[in-house]
Chains A and B, each alone.
Chain A
Amino acid sequence: MPKSLSNLSELLLEEGARNRPLYVEFETALLTADL
């Protein structure tokens, strides 16, 4: 079930998740267009 990006903070800060490192793909996830 797709979730809204606007709720992402809550998902990423859930109990138990905070102790794990979070890796984020720079070009394909964090950016919306090619530089």
Chain B
Amino acid sequence: MAGGKARQLNSARQAASLAPATFPYRQDLLEALKACGQRGRRVVLVGADTPELHAAGEHLGLEIQVLEGGDHSRLRDRLLLAAPAGFDYVAGSKSDVGVLGAAVEGYVVGAPASQRSARSALVNVHWLTPRLGLLPALVKELRPHQWSKNALLAVPVLLAPGVPRLDKLGIAALAALTFSLCASAGYVLNDLLDLEADRVHRSKRHRPFASGDLPVIAGPPLFWGLLFASFALSLSFLAPQFTVLLALYLVGTLTYSLYLKKQLLVDVLVLAALYTHRILAGGVATGIEVTTWLLGFSMFLFTSLAFAKRYVELQATKSEDQVKNRGYFKTDLQMVTAMGTASGYIAALVFVLYVDTAVVRARYREPSLLWLMLPVLLYWLGRIWLLAGRGQMQDDPVKFAMKDRTSLWCGVLVVAIVTAARFAPNPLASLVSW
């Protein structure tokens, strides 16, 4: 008995050095327990006598019940004795049936369907399904909506002279797939490294690893599997130079996630460079030369959009302190706006200068039609910045544009203008020639 007390005291002492806020709590259950506490329901944590149990109890403001020697049968008797009017019990998937059966209401979390059917005799037990199944959680972790950015790898094929060739489009699609798998590997690694910080973050705690929808143990094999698939595809089917660019993309994206995103201005330039890198890689994969005009246009355009992304984050910040994990302060809003809008308009300038080059005259039947893109570009960029300023764009601008109807119509107009400029019949071209 004295030994038990000494052990408990030791556990409590060790608990002081733990960080219970970062434990991998089942968030839905935790929120429900907090609601119980607020409404006056008595909640008791049950477990082996560990420092973690003591730390969690203290952190959450909950009573604890130590389970001596992991003996569930004694626990059932003790609970029946302590609560003669009955008790409710929340168990995990591998828990003892005896305690659950003795409860007035039992709840089991995280149990697979096979276990539910095997224990169907427990009529007082509620089987609670997690928010996401394993497959949807896996898909969520890979963030496929981010893959749309890799459509940039097809830009060189679409801008090449003549009708876009299907074989080249196929190579560009494969190249985009390797970039997508590589990007997903980066998200997995990032989430594994940020696990503890994500668990206490307002929105990131819902990410699959942080929320427990995906077991953390699956993380490393998932990361290596995605990376292997990406590089195996590249080495098997694409040019060796492309694999070098793929490796550089991996280094760039990981360095950005781990370090560069916190550096003033460098973060924006790296983001823009990663977008431009995709276009360059698309050119290398398909063997199509990418002009410096296109690369310059891309750098300025994506620098503007990267600044817009920072603008949205800064605007949402209430504190005057430095934004967490960023190199900016709220007072930088005006300069971020100036640099962002200037970059956007320089992109438009690069575009109009490009329209008058020999490259365009060689590739387009009626290059002057391309001038029609200028107002579309100026309108779209101006609108993005105005909506950001009004607080009507909460997303990353690229993500926002994918869902925004007006942006999509602008995209349709651009495609129509490029198509017309390339294949325009002479009478139409003569209408806009000057």
Chain A interface residues (CB < 8 Å from chain B): 1-6, 8-9, 11-13, 17-33, 35
A-B contact pairs, 19 of them (CB 8 A): A2-B113, A4-B128, A6-B131, A8-B29, A9-B31, A9-B35, A13-B35, A17-B88, A21-B42, A21-B83, A22-B33, A22-B90, A23-B44, A23-B99, A25-B47, A25-B91, A30-B30, A32-B110, A32-B212
State the CA gap A27–B110 with chains docked (Å): 12
Stretch from B101-109, B248-256, B269-277, B279-287 contacting the other chain? B101-109
**Set of chain A residues within 8 Å of B61, measured between Cβ atoms:** none
**Set of chain B residues within 8 Å of A5, measured between Cβ atoms:** 26, 28-29, 109, 128-131
Which of B25, B104, B127 is in CB contact (< 8 Å) with A32?
B25
Q: Chain B at the A interface: mostly helix, strand, loop or mixed? A: mixed
Is B295 close to A, CB under 8 A?
Answer: no
**Given A6-B131, A24-B90, A25-B47, A12:B28 Cβ within 8 A:** no
**Set of chain A residues within 8 Å of B33, measured between Cβ atoms:** 12, 22, 24, 30
**Set of chain B residues within 8 Å of A12, measured between Cβ atoms:** 32-33, 35-36, 41, 88, 107
Q: Are A4 and B92 in contact (CB under 8 A)?
A: no
* Closest A residue, CB atoms, query B130: A5
State the CA gap A12–B30 with chains docked (Å): 12
**Set of chain B residues within 8 Å of A32, measured between Cβ atoms:** 24-26, 110, 211-212, 215
How many Å from the CB of B21 to the closest CB on chain A? 13
State the CA gap A25–B87 with chains docked (Å): 13
Which of A9, A11, A23 is in CB contact (< 8 Å) with B87?
A23
Which of A19, A28, A33 is in CB contact (< 8 Å) with B212?
A33
Which of A11, A26, A35 is in CB contact (< 8 Å) with B107?
A11
Q: Chain A at the B interface: mostly helix, strand, loop or mixed? A: mixed
State the CA gap A20–B84 with chains docked (Å): 10
Which of A8, A11, A21, A29 is in CB contact (< 8 Å) with B91?
A29
State the CA gap A22–B62 with chains docked (Å): 11
Chain B interface residues (CB < 8 Å from chain A): 23-26, 28-33, 35-36, 39-48, 52-53, 56, 64-65, 79, 82-83, 85-95, 99, 103-105, 107, 109-110, 113, 116, 126-131, 211-212, 215-217
Which of B43, B48, B212, B215 is in CB contact (< 8 Å) with A24?
B43
Which of A2, A17, A24, A26 is in CB contact (< 8 Å) with B116?
A2
Most buried by A among B29, B48, B56, B95: B29
Which of A20, A23, A29 is in CB contact (< 8 Å) with B109?
A29
State the CA gap A26–B56 with chains docked (Å): 9
Q: Are A22 and B28 in contact (CB under 8 A)?
A: no
State the CA gap A18–B32 with chains docked (Å): 13
Q: Are B45 and A30 in contact (CB under 8 A)?
A: yes
* Closest A residue, CB atoms, query B57: A26
Q: Are A28 and B53 in contact (CB under 8 A)?
A: no
State the CA gap A6–B92 with chains docked (Å): 16
Q: Are B46 and A26 in contact (CB under 8 A)?
A: yes
* Closest A residue, CB atoms, query B62: A24
How many Å from the CB of B231 to the closest CB on chain A? 29
How many Å from the CB of B66 to the closest CB on chain A? 10
Which of A1, A17, A23, A30 is in CB contact (< 8 Å) with B79?
A23
How many Å from the CB of A24 to the closest CB on chain B? 4
* Closest B residue, CB atoms, query A4: B129
Most buried by B among A11, A17, A19, A25: A25
**Given A3-B126, A12-B35, A24:B211 Cβ within 8 A:** no
State the CA gap A18–B116 with chains docked (Å): 26
How many Å from the CB of A28 to the closest CB on chain B? 3
State the CA gap A35–B126 with chains docked (Å): 26
**Set of chain A residues within 8 Å of B94, measured between Cβ atoms:** 28
**Set of chain B residues within 8 Å of A22, measured between Cβ atoms:** 33, 36, 41-44, 87-90
